[in-house]
């Protein structure tokens, strides 16, 4: 057991930190969503030119080929320096890795470089209005037509759909197969008449997500990833990529929220209030336990090669502590904690989604109960 960074890990951290400090793009433009997105696109291009964009990708595909620990260090530094997220987040953490793992040489040739550069934005079409936690029950349907497929159906909670060129799409290609076996993984071109994108306004007032309506949208055969009918397995792999390596960045985010909360509590003169102290201590302890748990998972994953179901604990902790902290901030901030337009109010409302997005806490608890503790399956 040794939790200190090795010499080469420390050197890597210093290299990342120095580069970020020298190349920080400054504050994002506010109030104009399109300008903000283009700002993030040019930031991603800058990262790509220096070789950082595909931090986890193998070098032969234009990535950095970083180890899991280096990825964790990298994500931690990004959060520490408060740099904006790259524009093509979903392409970088899900689309690219899935094409690298499951795609043909032609597919790699076609898609990988524009993901890294940010020239082509990717989005993810998995959830449907009637298929949330039970994703495999999805109904969007793809029908064979010469040399390709025609897709009809609806997707929801699609981030960046209005900016995206490509959509990672799950659709049912075999109505008669068992529900996990009749699904195929497509890469859908968003720029065509059969695809309509509508913004989905959320309780914060903004529209971070979209709905996608597909009416005989066309996908050529060469845009199928993996086997026809094998899409569920491809999707599972994709979801694993979504969770791997993000723990460190999530912890840094929580730490910033805690520091802001401590500052707020002090500003409001509540630093000696015993109840406030108890709760702040709980957050401090919980966040540290989450950081350490992520490091234990990382060490285990480096040994075994695959992330285990224990990773579900981290997502659960993140939602739990972030919601509790933003609730407390909203409580101690006085009127500002519930006024429209304040940062405290925004975080408080936005965090309500934390225990739903990317796997509900209930589903994570099912995974832990069944796959870690070996309790009998509910279904």
C-beta neighbour count of 312 within 10 angstroms = 22
List 242, 282, 331, 370, catalytic entry: 242
**C-beta closer to another protein: residue 103 or 286:** 286
**What is the rounded distance in angstroms from the CA atom of residue 169 to the CA atom of residue 72?**
28
**C-beta closer to another protein: residue 357 or 370:** 370
CB of residue 98 vs another protein: minimum separation in angstroms? Answer: 28
**C-beta closer to another protein: residue 212 or 265:** 265
Active site residue 242: yes
**What is the rounded distance in angstroms from the CA atom of residue 110 to the CA atom of residue 23?**
29
Report CA-CA distances (Å) from 360 to 90, 165, 320, 321, 363. 19, 28, 11, 15, 5
Give the position of tokens 């109010």.
345
CB of residue 175 vs another protein: minimum separation in angstroms? Answer: 30
Contact 188, 195 (CB under 8 A): yes
Q: DSSP for 53-102?
A: TTTTS-GGGTS----HHHHHHHHHHHHHTTPPPPTTHHIIIIIHHHHHHH
CB of residue 356 vs another protein: minimum separation in angstroms? Answer: 16
* Backbone Cα Rg of the chain: 21
**C-beta closer to another protein: residue 6 or 192:** 6
CB of residue 191 vs another protein: minimum separation in angstroms? Answer: 43
Which chain residues interact with another protein by CB under 8 A? Answer: 1-6, 9, 69, 262, 265-266, 271-272, 274, 276-278, 280-282, 284-286, 288-290, 292-293, 295-296, 298-300, 303, 310, 313, 316-317, 362, 364-366, 368-370, 372-378
Element (H or E) spanning 347, and its range?
helix 343-350
- Residue 122 tokens read as 């990717």
CB of residue 320 vs another protein: minimum separation in angstroms? Answer: 9
**C-beta closer to another protein: residue 256 or 277:** 277
CB of residue 80 vs another protein: minimum separation in angstroms? Answer: 17
Report CA-CA distances (Å) from 190 to 138, 147, 193, 197. 20, 18, 9, 9
**What is the rounded distance in angstroms from the CA atom of residue 254 to the CA atom of residue 320?**
11
**C-beta closer to another protein: residue 182 or 314:** 314
- Give catalytic residues, as residue numbers: 242
């Amino acid at each position: 057991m040794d939790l200190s960074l090795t010499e080469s890990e420390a050197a890597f951290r210093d290299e990342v930190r120095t580069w970020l400090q020298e190349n920080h793009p400054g504050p994002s433009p506010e109030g104009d969503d399109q300008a903000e997105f283009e700002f993030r696109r040019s930031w991603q291009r800058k990262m790509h030119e220096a070789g950082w964009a595909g931090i986890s990708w193998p070098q032969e595909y234009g990535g950095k080929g970083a180890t899991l620990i280096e990825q964790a260090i990298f994500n931690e530094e990004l959060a520490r320096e408060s740099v904006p997220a790259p524009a093509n987040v979903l392409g970088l953490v899900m689309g690219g890795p899935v094409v690298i793992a499951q795609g043909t040489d032609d597919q790699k040739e076609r898609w990988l470089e524009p993901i890294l550069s940010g020239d082509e934005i990717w989005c993810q079409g998995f959830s449907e209005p009637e298929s949330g936690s039970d994703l495999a029950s999805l109904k969007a349907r793809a029908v064979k037509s010469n040399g390709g497929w025609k897709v009809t159906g609806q997707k929801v909670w699609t981030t960046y759909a209005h900016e995206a060129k490509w959509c990672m799409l799950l659709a049912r290609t075999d109505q008669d197969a068992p529900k996990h076996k009749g699904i195929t993984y497509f890469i859908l071109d968003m720029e065509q008449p059969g695809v309509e994108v509508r913004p989905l306004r959320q309780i914060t007032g903004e529209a971070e997500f979209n709905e996608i309506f597909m009416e005989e949208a066309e996908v050529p055969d060469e845009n199928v990833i993996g086997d026809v009918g094998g899409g569920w397995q491809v999707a599972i792999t994709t979801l694993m990529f979504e969770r791997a390596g993000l723990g460190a960045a999530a912890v840094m985010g929580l730490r910033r929220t805690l520091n802001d909360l401590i500052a707020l509590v002090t500003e409001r003169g509540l630093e000696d209030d015993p109840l406030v102290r108890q709760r702040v201590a709980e957050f401090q302890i919980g966040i540290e336990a989450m950081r350490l748990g992520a490091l234990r998972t990382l060490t285990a994953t480096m040994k075994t090669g695959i992330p285990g179901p224990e990773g579900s604990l981290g997502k659960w902790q993140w939602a739990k502590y972030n919601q509790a902290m933003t609730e407390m901030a909203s409580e101690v901030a006085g009127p500002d904690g519930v006024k429209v337009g304040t940062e405290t109010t925004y975080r408080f409302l936005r965090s309500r989604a934390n225990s739903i997005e990317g796997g509900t806490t209930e589903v994570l608890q099912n995974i832990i109960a069944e796959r870690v503790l070996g309790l009998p399956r509910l279904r």
